[in-house]
Amino acid sequence: MSGRFVYWINVSLDLRIEYTENEQGSGSWARIGESLHQEFNSRARAMSLMVQGRVVYETMEGFWPEARDDASLPEYLREYGRIWTSMPKVLVSRTRTSAEYNTRVIDSVGALADLRAQTEGDIGVGGATLATELLRAGLLDELLLVTHPVVLGAGRSLFDGLDEPLELDLLEQARFDEGVTLHRYAVRKKQ
């Protein structure tokens, strides 16, 4: 048994995830329509586990628990709220010691190698800092990039700096409304 760490994120054409601080791939530049969100729901539902950094987790916990029962929202958003709150999650944080919504807290990336070995299936990764740490530890398996047709020109990059080029193999691609594309890549492991 061995899981796969999959970092999925909304990005601009120039591989930025934020134009302004803490957008975490959800700025006004992201074109997330119903068909794309249905894809998010489907992929999230199929995951075994979510692992999130503190900033992403706090962004999610600030919206999705209330969204699951908010009759003013479309059903596909309420559905994601139900998926997120019920999905087993691990919060990686040095500052938080507790969390709700089926979440356990760990304080280091080091414990994630064991978690991956004990998990079957996809483990969704949320947060650029966490994804960069997993990549540097040789634990990141896949990237799921949802690319929006915008060039931000500034802001936070997909990763927080790389020591060398990252080689990938394309596994899947799809197109959604408004010119949004999805590309899933396997991270080539070093020999």
Report the share of the chain in percent with pLDDT over 70: 96
160: confidence class by pLDDT, cuts 50, 70, 90:
confident
Instruction: pLDDT band for 1, please (50, 70, 90 cuts).
Output: low
**Neighbour tally for 8: CB within 10 Å:** 21
In 78-93, which positions are buried (b, 16+ CB within 10 angstroms) versus exposed (e)?
bbbbbbbbebebbbbb
CATH number of the domain encompassing residue 164: 3.40.430.10
How confident is the model at residue 161, as a pLDDT?
82
Total tally of structural domains belonging to the chain: 1
Q: Domain for residue 150, yes or no? A: yes
Does 147 reside within a domain? yes
Q: Does residue 58 belong to any structural domain of this protein?
A: no
Whole-angstrom distance, CA of residue 26 vs CA of residue 120: 29
Distance CA 112, CA 93 (A): 12
Within a domain: 7: yes
Q: For residue 19, which amino acid is it?
A: Y
Computed over every residue of the chain, the mean pLDDT equals 93
> Quick one: average pLDDT of 67-85?
97
Comparing 104-113, 118-127, 142-151, the range with the smallest average pLDDT is 104-113
Q: Which two tokens stand for residue 123?
A: 């483990």
Enclosing domain of residue 145: 3-52+109-187
Residue 24 lies in a domain: yes
Inter-axis angle of helices 34-46 and 75-86, nearest 10: 20
Domain presence at residue 175: yes
Q: Is residue 61 part of a domain?
A: no
pTM of the full structure: 0.92
Predicted pLDDT at 108? 87
The answer to the question of residue 78 being in a domain is no
Which residues lie across from 168 on neighbouring strands? Answer: 187
Question: Which residues face 9 on adjacent strands?
Answer: 145
Judged on CB neighbours under 10 Å (0-12, 13-18, 19+), 51 is buried
Q: Per-residue DSSP letters for the chain?
A: --EEEEEEEEEETT-EEESSTT-TT-STT----HHHHHHHHHHHHH-SEEEEEHHHHHHHHTTHHHHTT-TTS-HHHHHHHHHHHHS-EEEE-SS-----SSEEEES-GGGHHHHHHT--EEEEEE-HHHHHHHHHTT-EEEEEEEEES----SSEESSS--SS---EEEEEEEE-GGG-EEEEEEEPPP-
- In this predicted model, what pLDDT tens digit does every residue of 127-158 receive, in sequence order? 999 999 999 999 999 999 999 999 999 999 99
